[in-house]
Structure 1
Amino acid sequence: MSHRLDLDGYLQRIGFTREPRVDVATLRALATAHIAAIPFENLDPLLRTPVSVDLAAIEHKLVYSQRGGYCFEQNGLFLAVLRAIGFDVSGLIARVLWNKPEDAEVAQTHMLLRVEVEGESWLADVGFGSMALGGALRLVVDEAQPTSLEPFRLITDGTQWRTQALVRDEWRTLYRFRLQDAERIDYVVANHFTSTYPESHFLHSLIVARTLADRRLGLRNREFVVHALGQESVRRTLQTTEEIKRVLEEQFGLRLPVSSLLDATLDALPMPETV
Structure 2
Amino acid sequence: MTTLDTALYLRRLDLPAPAAPTLDALTRLQTRHNAVVPFETLASLMREPVAIDLPSVQRKVLQATRGGYCYELNGLFLALLQTLGFDVRAIAARVVEGDDRTPTAQTHLCGLATLDGAAHLVDVGFGGNTPTAPLRLDRRDPQSTPHGRYRIDLAPDGLHTLQAEILDRWRPLYRFDLRPVPAIDREVGNWYVCTHPDSSFPGQLRVARAGPGWRRTIGNGRFTLHRPGRPSQHRQLADADDVLAVLAEAFDIRPAPQPGLRDAIETWLSSYR
TM-score with structure 2 setting the length: 0.95
Contact 1:223–1:272 under 8 Å retained in 2: no
Q: Which residue of 1 aligns with 2:99?
A: 101
Q: Which residue of 1 aligns with 2:66?
A: 67
Distance in structure 1 (CA, Å) of the matches to 2:34 and 2:71: 14
Could you say if the C-alpha distance between residues 231 and 175 of structure 1 is closer, same or farther in structure 2, counting changes exceeding 3 Å?
Answer: same
Query: Which aligned pairs between 1:84-95 and structure 2 lie closer than 5 A?
Result: 84-95=83-94
Report the Cα offset of residue 143 of structure 1.
Answer: 1.7
Distance in structure 1 (CA, Å) of the matches to 2:203 and 2:82: 35
Within the alignment, does 1:217 sit opposite 2:227 as a pair? no
Distance in structure 1 (CA, Å) of the matches to 2:139 and 2:84: 28
Contact 1:129–1:209 under 8 Å retained in 2: yes
Question: Deviations 1:167-195 (Å, cap 9, x if unpaired)?
Answer: 12211111001111111111100000100
Contact 1:95–1:107 under 8 Å retained in 2: yes
Unaligned runs of 5+ in 1: none
The structure 1 residue matched to 2:122, chosen from 105, 121, 124, is: 124
Structure 1 moving runs of 4+ over 4 Å: 271-274
Percent identity of equivalent pairs: 35
Report the Cα offset of residue 149 of structure 1.
Answer: 1.4
Contact 1:237–1:272 under 8 Å retained in 2: no
Distance in structure 1 (CA, Å) of the matches to 2:173 and 2:73: 17
Secondary structure, counterpart of 1:269 in structure 2 = helix
Secondary structure, counterpart of 2:114 in structure 1 = strand
Counterpart AA for 1:232: P
Counterpart AA for 2:246: V
Unaligned runs of 5+ in 2: none
Report the Cα offset of residue 85 of structure 1.
Answer: 0.2
What is the total number of aligned residue pairs between the two structures? Answer: 272
Counterpart AA for 1:233: S
Question: Deviations 1:14-53 (Å, cap 9, x if unpaired)?
Answer: 2224645200001011000001111111111221222111
TM-score with structure 1 setting the length: 0.95
Secondary structure, counterpart of 2:91 in structure 1 = strand
Contact 1:71–1:127 under 8 Å retained in 2: yes
Q: Which residue of 1 aligns with 2:163?
A: 164
Report the Cα offset of residue 272 of structure 1.
Answer: 7.1
Question: Deviations 1:86-107 (Å, cap 9, x if unpaired)?
Answer: 001111000001x522212211
Report the Cα offset of residue 273 of structure 1.
Answer: 5.0
Q: Which residue of 2 aligns with 1:114?
A: 112
- The two structures, once aligned, show a CA RMSD in angstroms of 1.5
